[in-house]
Amino acid sequence: MQTMAERIVIPGGALDPHVHFRQPGATHKEDFTTGTRAALVGGYTAVFDMPNNPIPTMTPAALDEKRRLAHGNIYIDVGFNYGGTLESSQTFQLVIDRVRALKVYMNPTTGNLLVESDKELETIFSMWPKKHPIMVHAEGPTFERAINMARKTGQRLHLCHMSLASEMQMIIDAKEEGLPVTAEVSAHNLFLTEDDAKHMPHGMGMVKHPLATEKDRQALWDNIDAIDIIASDHAPHTKEEKDKFEEGKGPYGVTGLETTLPLMLTAVNAGWLSMEKLVDMISTKPREIFRLKSDSQTYTEVILGDRPHVIDAKDLETRAKQTPFDGYMVTGRVANVDLRGVRILREGEIVGLPQGRVL
């Protein structure tokens, strides 16, 4: 294996369209400041915040409150995804220019934005203006129902955090059919299995989509060319909350903003994917799907083939201070980030002020 360190520029910096910053309503887990600090250290120049807060982002008022709270407190750019329900579909036209995507939850997860019937789903899909894509949380059999709805309504569909070999096959088939579908994978589903989850304390491996079998994990790598983007699905919960899994049921979700790029660079070092594919998955493709322009003064510089170092949960910027990759060895690192010509991360240290923009 090569050990020569090499610096590589990711034009535009990394873009993550799937993070949960928890403000307002659960800032003991994360807020816009801690969340964007974690994102910056992780090499991101823009992220999109998901709508599943205690008061969900499914009204113009809730959206504007988030935009107000973020303003002046973010280290990188932050956009917002709108929650799709029958009720919120009445307001789609009012918010379309202030959001980046619609998010529809088709299975239970953190929050209560669940949409279960195909009838409601069809109304929501039909009402959504075609300017931005529809992102869905859809697991297993539900995955196929989402694809069917994209076929029926002609909407651009983005399938979040896929993890199963069967889902991989459905994506391949849908793309062959020419449907406008894109697929997202998270690092934890590329690196970990249900067996790893069993050996982790604090329900640390409990996440939706669940960590799956080794066969599923391998299917993702075998078909990585059919996966469009990598998103962190950064979903912070405190240790105390995750501990509740020891008595049965705690909140699903793991942090990911600070570990995704180092892990993926390690995968490049190991020859599991090319650096070109990684740049595509973390910057070029998400910018294309979510129609976010960048400029030549904004970029992330990473180090490939770095000397091995160990991920340590207590060094993380995220308020949740935990990761399923605690103690994991990586050989890639985020060095520098420039945002619109201003250096905001220097050799891994935050040097900028909270000058990110609300997108």
Name which of 323, 296, 327 is nearest 309 in CA terms.
327
Q: Give the C-alpha separation, 257 to 318, whole Å.
A: 8
* Residue range at the interface with ligand NCD (CB under 6 A); choices 2-10, 65-73, 246-254, 318-326: 246-254
Instruction: Check binding of 202 to Zn ion (CB under 5 A).
Output: yes
Backbone phi and psi for residue 48, each to the nearest 5 degrees, phi listed first: -115, 130
With CB under 6 A as the contact rule, the residue among 45, 110, 269, 322 that binds ligand NCD is 110
With CB under 6 A as the contact rule, the residue among 49, 139, 228, 233 that binds ligand NCD is 233
Instruction: Check binding of 260 to ligand NCD (CB under 6 A).
Output: no
With CB under 6 A as the contact rule, the residue among 23, 36, 45, 52 that binds ligand NCD is 52
Sheet of 349-350: strands edge to edge?
6-11, 299-310, 329-339, 342-346, 349-350
What minimum distance in Å lies between the beta carbon of 22 and Zn ion? 12
Q: Give the number of C-alpha atoms closer than 13 A to the C-alpha of residue 38, restricted to the C-beta side.
A: 34
* Residue range at the interface with ligand NCD (CB under 6 A); choices 91-99, 142-150, 247-255, 290-298: 247-255
Instruction: Check binding of 319 to ligand NCD (CB under 6 A).
Output: no
What minimum distance in Å lies between the beta carbon of 50 and Zn ion? 5
Yes or no: say if 267 and 302 are a contact pair by the CB < 8 Å rule: no
What minimum distance in Å lies between the beta carbon of 91 and Zn ion? 22
Backbone phi and psi for residue 358, each to the nearest 5 degrees, phi listed first: -80, 120
What minimum distance in Å lies between the beta carbon of 324 and ligand NCD? 12
Give the H or E element holding residue 345: strand 342-346
Shortest-Cβ-distance residue relative to ligand NCD: 253
What is the contact mask toward Zn ion in residues 159 to 198, using x (rule: CB under 5 A)? ----------------------------------------
Yes or no: say if 344 and 352 are a contact pair by the CB < 8 Å rule: yes
Identify residues 55-74 at the interface with ligand NCD (CB under 6 A). none
Cα distances from 59 to residues 63, 83, 94, in angstroms, run: 6, 8, 9
Q: Give the C-alpha separation, 272 to 292, whole Å.
A: 28
Q: Give the C-alpha separation, 16 to 286, whole Å.
A: 7
Contacts of 25 (CB under 8 A, 6+ apart): 53, 54, 55
Instruction: Check binding of 208 to ligand NCD (CB under 6 A).
Output: yes
Q: Quick one: 22 or 132, whose CB is closer to ligand NCD?
A: 22
Yes or no: say if 8 and 275 are a contact pair by the CB < 8 Å rule: yes
Instruction: Check binding of 133 to ligand NCD (CB under 6 A).
Output: no
What is the contact mask toward Zn ion in residues 79 to 118, using x (rule: CB under 5 A)? ----------------------------------------
Instruction: Check binding of 252 to ligand NCD (CB under 6 A).
Output: yes
- Calculate helix-pair angle for 165-176, 141-153, nearest 10 degrees: 20
Residue 156 touches which member of ligand NCD, Zn ion, none, C-beta under 5-8 Å by kind: none
Q: Give the C-alpha separation, 169 to 165, whole Å.
A: 6
Q: Quick one: 20 or 132, whose CB is closer to ligand NCD?
A: 20
What minimum distance in Å lies between the beta carbon of 120 and ligand NCD? 19
Q: Give the C-alpha separation, 209 to 185, whole Å.
A: 10
* Residue range at the interface with ligand NCD (CB under 6 A); choices 37-45, 245-253, 288-296, 347-355: 245-253
Instruction: List contacts with Zn ion (CB under 5 A).
Output: 137, 201-202, 233, 243
Instruction: List contacts with ligand NCD (CB under 6 A).
Output: 20, 52, 109-110, 137, 207-208, 233, 235, 251-253
